[in-house]
Structure 1
């Protein structure tokens, strides 16, 4: 918890206790079944009654689910009950398949996956480890195919290497881990008769980006003395991207990727600026500094300043150099999602995933151009280098005494208020200007957290994914949890973060003034306060709580074509595995939340994509349980006993071929 600043808070409150629900009412029997050769641990909720005459069993199940569960359009499915199955569990009437696993070859010349003989060269041509953000992009001229882009956030060496010694990793193990980080671009093809999605190996657009791929620093920090190193005296070339968490897709056809917990890869710092980012004085967890001095802050003090940015990747150009956009600030970026202004400028929303840290937006000053020429594409790739970076400050509209830290609603029946975007710095083609007293513009963009401290930004409960609703324009902020709120001398609850010891998290809904993304004022309310619906401290946008699924620890978010919000979870604290949930954001069913799937033991649900007829999720770090290893696996997903547990991407579709949730 690096933020020890004494910023202004939304209110003064007293500590309270959280109630917790018994899981008895939500218990369910889950049927686990195989779903084809080579895959196990695939589960489906109990099926509906007997099929009508002339209908297939799958069609009957889907029809039964529709009859029983009307719901908002896009959310008409039978909710999956909370469970602890070592499987991906989907609703009745739905089917699934594993699209691609860690280690599957995607580049020409890459060998088949052999975890007992894995090499760095092999991994560099294979699908990487631990997917988080996913994007599916169109492939004109290739019917039934799309281009999948996936983040590979980090590596679980103890689950990757037999006999792994964390205190003494080998060079080969470290280099395999370098190659397993980064990004993958891989073409996928849909089955015309089902919703099944499979990877197309060795397509010309398939690509791997790793921890040793060359990147270009762009924007106001490029060339600064703060980012020059012995290997790069220009301060413009960086090797690799680390800990890519969530991201976004740009209107001009590229993908954005947030470098999040980069601090864990660096060792040996005693600087206060590094402490604010969680970088320790001792050895790093992975001991990479033993094999490359750039991870040793004592030897290369500026290398760490070259991580913690939003990365832009052009998946349609395999020869392109990915960029790190310094104008969006340096912190633990969880996401980067865009809403365009009326005159064609990008506004990027992004969160800093740390307890008591902030969320931000960047308002670009250059307009997007349309067309496919190289000049147009190069122009659009520069849109995130010029503009103003802002941080959010929120004010509640209820008396401070009504926010007591228990999650009890204030007298007006809602946690809500107003907010302002505080400018931190502006980057232009001719230079950059700081708006923070005592800090230069370069310092603001490199030490963005400190700039937020100085201007009194509101400390939040782990801002993770932030995404504008494409139907309404409202912006949704997933706040995963903060068990330290109100504990000891830490900041107590306020109206935007209304529970002390907040272990379940909440979702904030933000409305820009005049519904213009470039506005510097906004209104906000808590759309959802997560947890057990039987807990008085929970809230589901006013929807009756006896009609919603339990949810804990919201993380990645996405939207379906109807404007429903889909929420994936990480670290659920209600006794069930993590999952994916859909919730209506408008109409009479606003706040009705349904669980769509759960993931295997130890896994986190990531990267949801909600298309008309298919849902994709990344099953990240399955089997990541304390004490688990290759020799003592906690999960056997996805390939069954005797096989390595492997992070993977899963597709889900309706068995009758119709649209999701209608």
Structure 2
């Protein structure tokens, strides 16, 4: 998330740089295999989180029958999901929702969490971001409170929003909307600018409360907090105290300083908050001579994670001054020690994990759960808990040609742990001991979970990198996945588990490096799980590869969450409705359903609706990013299809894939369209299903730094143009959505 579409990557933004040069199986040897049998389930649904307030510049579009029909008897007819009228595509600088719904801005960049912090001026002069909302609101979860303010899972009118603040809106080095004149775009960077930019990253917790029909944040709540890249965080699990995480800040390798580039989230069965560290490598730099200074296998690791020597950092924070808080952004080996205790050569090994926090209790240490592996994490989705069975956590590595993972706990689920006395201790129980697996998909619609462990002969024999122990495998999970021949995917983003049947859905947002005739190590031919390679025109510009993305889903085999085999198919292919149905619009999407670059994804535990959010650059000449509501079936409810491609040698490449049942107007429709330049992300809702919260990230992100002094040239002025807050600079913000008749969202 918070990245340019990978069809056009900036030179200094490492978010989407492909560092996977391994030669793993891409299905090229099994493209013509045929699926022998499938099984499917029917009707379920997914959730999106949204909530209420007023009507701040958010327009209602379309129409729909929202009234619940009542029979002459006391028994009402069943609730009809997706009864709203689809919202049309839009390029307007507003948030559009269906008729009968209201969406209102609630919590935006710079909003104060403490009464002593002044209201946000939104002119670049604001400070004290340790006590304000951070930037680029991303993944988010809701935690209920009782009327008296005690933790209460069922609390639907008072609660906490815990969320990620992924990044900033950048041009060159500067986060330009944060600074009066746009900021300094040359090195060295001023300390004051660096301090502000660092502080807007991380996490926040804010109390929200409903009064009448309106929601508002609670300033000075005892629960309100910020977590930044300077906050102490413990390392937990097998990597704790390992030599790979020894730094000047933590010579014992037991902690790290902060969390960065937090993207997707998860909510544990015991009520904690999980945050994924995604594109963290680009914030750091290495000298042009660092490889020789190191002279060891750490060079292989750094290159595999996208941090080659001489590479410029995203913001130049290492130039802010001589203080240690700036030095930590330089990964170069500059100290004399043999273990890294006098510099930050190992600092990168402390980034890239799932972070767990108790949103209710500030006294509990935040922990990075290293057993879940280190890569560009998005969300963390739990299997449906079953007493006496192990838990699985499903995850993806969001970069082109990376992998899908799951972690299986050693401990089996105990019902008492749903409401524990100590949430973080329960996290220790389930997340610090277990097995990490990576997915290998076959062309016949089956797949295997391959364990990443020192006992795996392929890992022992891997010549490109010699693993020392389990901690080394986890720190270098990408290299371990290379070693076992995992399947390279089209940028695995969020994942979610269907509560109706336990099936797992992954968004594969796009991949510009799919081509029928690969000419480089980063280019892949289409395969069964990533079967499209085509040209999509955006005006006069050709976008090649898989510009529109797709959603894949898995069904576990014998063993439930601990299964080592699965079956799979493609639930939906993103596409323009008018695209060729035989090669591109394989899901036969209509104008009320078409979308591009799926990213955020969550099933509602209350309605079963599957909410799909987009972070797109391919279709934005036609529509801003959006959120759709879906009622999916199950793996195997569709059919096999064969795509034929002409090769450079004049032959034919036949690619078999498996496509889910085509959606109808009753099973998939557009629910929301966002402002100009925004990504739609973060899904959470109250336990009664009547309030949804979502995040609008980086509206106006393509505004030029040269235009910072002229609001008329901003590509977006949202949410100021909706009447929210001071100034006209665009701001990432949380919105709350409610249904005007008081019903559940999505009905």
Q: Please give the range of the TM-score, normalised by the shorter of the 2 chains.
A: 0.7 to 0.9
What is the CA–CA distance in structure 1 between the aligned matches of 2:133 and 2:69, rounded to whole Å?
36
Find 2:304's aligned residue among 245, 256, 276.
276
What is the CA–CA distance in structure 2 between the aligned matches of 1:353 and 1:538, rounded to whole Å?
28
The answer to which of 649-658 and 534-543 deviates more is 534-543
What is the CA–CA distance in structure 1 between the aligned matches of 2:56 and 2:262, rounded to whole Å?
29
Task: Output one character per residue of 1:619-660: Cα deviation in whole Å (capped at 9) or x when no partner.
Answer: 001110152553242211001295221110011111121222
2:176 is equivalent to residue 158 of structure 1: yes
1:303 is matched with 347
Q: Is the contact made by 2:357 and 2:424 (CA closer than 8 Å) also made in structure 1? A: no
1:136 is matched with 142
What is the CA–CA distance in structure 2 between the aligned matches of 1:358 and 1:364, rounded to whole Å?
20
2:103 is matched with 96
1:406 is matched with none
2:684 is matched with 609
1:229 is matched with 247
The answer to which of 454-463 and 222-231 deviates more is 222-231
1:625 is matched with 702
What is the CA–CA distance in structure 1 between the aligned matches of 2:387 and 2:486, rounded to whole Å?
27
1:146 is matched with 159
| 3-state SS of paired residue (1:256) | strand
Deviation at 1:275, TM superposition (A): 1.7
| 3-state SS of paired residue (2:199) | helix
| 3-state SS of paired residue (1:436) | helix
2:141 is equivalent to residue 113 of structure 1: no
C-alpha change, 1:605 and 1:109, in structure 2 (3 Å) is same
| 3-state SS of paired residue (1:113) | coil
1:459 is matched with 488
The answer to which of 287-296 and 254-263 deviates more is 287-296
Task: Output one character per residue of 1:38-80: Cα deviation in whole Å (capped at 9) or x when no partner.
Answer: x8542221457xxxxxxxxxxxx745999xxx99942111111
C-alpha change, 1:655 and 1:209, in structure 2 (3 Å) is same
Q: Is the contact made by 2:223 and 2:360 (CA closer than 8 Å) also made in structure 1? A: yes
Task: Output one character per residue of 1:533-555: Cα deviation in whole Å (capped at 9) or x when no partner.
Answer: 33235899997644851110000
Q: Counterparts in 2 of 1:398-417, with a 5 A limit?
A: 417=445
Q: Counterparts in 2 of 1:324-343, with a 5 A limit?
A: 324-339=368-383, 340-343=385-388
Task: Output one character per residue of 1:547-568: Cα deviation in whole Å (capped at 9) or x when no partner.
Answer: 8511100001011223221100
Task: Output one character per residue of 1:244-299: Cα deviation in whole Å (capped at 9) or x when no partner.
Answer: 00010001110110000001100016423212111242321200111311111114
Q: Counterparts in 2 of 1:98-497, with a 5 A limit?
A: 98-107=105-114, 109-116=116-123, 118=125, 122-142=128-148, 144-156=157-169, 157-163=175-181, 164-168=183-187, 169-192=189-212, 194=213, 196-268=214-286, 270=291, 271-280=299-308, 281-291=310-320, 292-298=326-332, 299=334, 300-339=344-383, 340-369=385-414, 370=416, 374=421, 378-397=425-444, 417-425=445-453, 436-437=459-460, 438-439=466-467, 440-486=469-515, 487-489=518-520, 490-497=523-530
C-alpha change, 1:642 and 1:215, in structure 2 (3 Å) is closer
What is the CA–CA distance in structure 2 between the aligned matches of 1:366 and 1:379, rounded to whole Å?
10
Find 2:90's aligned residue among 61, 83, 89.
83
Deviation at 1:609, TM superposition (A): 2.3
2:73 is equivalent to residue 45 of structure 1: no
Q: Is the contact made by 2:27 and 2:528 (CA closer than 8 Å) also made in structure 1? A: yes
Higher relative contact order (CA 8 A, sep 6+): 2
What is the CA–CA distance in structure 2 between the aligned matches of 1:40 and 1:312, rounded to whole Å?
33
Deviation at 1:463, TM superposition (A): 0.3
2:609 is equivalent to residue 580 of structure 1: no
2:534 is equivalent to residue 505 of structure 1: no
Task: Output one character per residue of 1:218-256: Cα deviation in whole Å (capped at 9) or x when no partner.
Answer: 111111111101121011111110000001000111011
Deviation at 1:111, TM superposition (A): 2.6
What is the CA–CA distance in structure 2 between the aligned matches of 1:515 and 1:469, rounded to whole Å?
17
Q: Is the contact made by 2:234 and 2:254 (CA closer than 8 Å) also made in structure 1? A: yes
C-alpha change, 1:65 and 1:542, in structure 2 (3 Å) is farther
| 3-state SS of paired residue (1:177) | helix
2:719 is matched with 638
2:20 is equivalent to residue 3 of structure 1: yes
Q: Is the contact made by 2:56 and 2:105 (CA closer than 8 Å) also made in structure 1? A: no
Deviation at 1:528, TM superposition (A): 0.6
Q: Counterparts in 2 of 1:484-563, with a 5 A limit?
A: 484-486=513-515, 487-489=518-520, 490-500=523-533, 501-514=545-558, 516-537=560-581, 545-546=589-590, 548-560=592-604, 561-563=606-608
Task: Output one character per residue of 1:413-471: Cα deviation in whole Å (capped at 9) or x when no partner.
Answer: xxxx0000000028xxxxx9997214232221111111111100000000001111111
C-alpha change, 1:532 and 1:64, in structure 2 (3 Å) is farther
TM-score when normalising by structure 1: 0.85
- Which residues of structure 2 form unaligned runs of 5+? 1-17, 32-51, 71-76, 149-154, 170-174, 292-298, 321-325, 335-343, 461-465, 534-544, 638-660
What is the CA–CA distance in structure 2 between the aligned matches of 1:222 and 1:479, rounded to whole Å?
32
Task: Output one character per residue of 1:271-329: Cα deviation in whole Å (capped at 9) or x when no partner.
Answer: 23212111242321200111311111114210011100000010110122210011111
C-alpha change, 1:515 and 1:76, in structure 2 (3 Å) is farther
1:400 is matched with none
Find 1:651's aligned residue among 736, 741, 745.
736
Q: Is the contact made by 1:551 and 1:572 (CA closer than 8 Å) also made in structure 2? A: no
Task: Output one character per residue of 1:563-622: Cα deviation in whole Å (capped at 9) or x when no partner.
Answer: 221100001522210010011112999733211001111110001225521222100011
1:17 is matched with none
What is the CA–CA distance in structure 2 between the aligned matches of 1:504 and 1:569, rounded to whole Å?
10
Q: Is the contact made by 2:229 and 2:257 (CA closer than 8 Å) also made in structure 1? A: yes
C-alpha change, 1:419 and 1:197, in structure 2 (3 Å) is same
C-alpha change, 1:342 and 1:511, in structure 2 (3 Å) is farther
What is the CA–CA distance in structure 1 between the aligned matches of 2:78 and 2:730, rounded to whole Å?
36
What is the CA–CA distance in structure 2 between the aligned matches of 1:74 and 1:520, rounded to whole Å?
35
1:54 is matched with none
What is the CA–CA distance in structure 2 between the aligned matches of 1:619 and 1:3, rounded to whole Å?
31
| 3-state SS of paired residue (1:347) | strand
Deviation at 1:209, TM superposition (A): 0.5
What is the CA–CA distance in structure 2 between the aligned matches of 1:616 and 1:470, rounded to whole Å?
20
Q: How large is the Cα RMSD of the aligned pairs?
A: 2.9
Q: Is the contact made by 1:423 and 1:435 (CA closer than 8 Å) also made in structure 2? A: no
What is the CA–CA distance in structure 2 between the aligned matches of 1:259 and 1:197, rounded to whole Å?
30
TM-score when normalising by structure 2: 0.75
What is the CA–CA distance in structure 1 between the aligned matches of 2:304 and 2:315, rounded to whole Å?
21
Q: Is the contact made by 1:526 and 1:541 (CA closer than 8 Å) also made in structure 2? A: no
Task: Output one character per residue of 1:113-152: Cα deviation in whole Å (capped at 9) or x when no partner.
Answer: 23446465x1101111111101011113446201110100
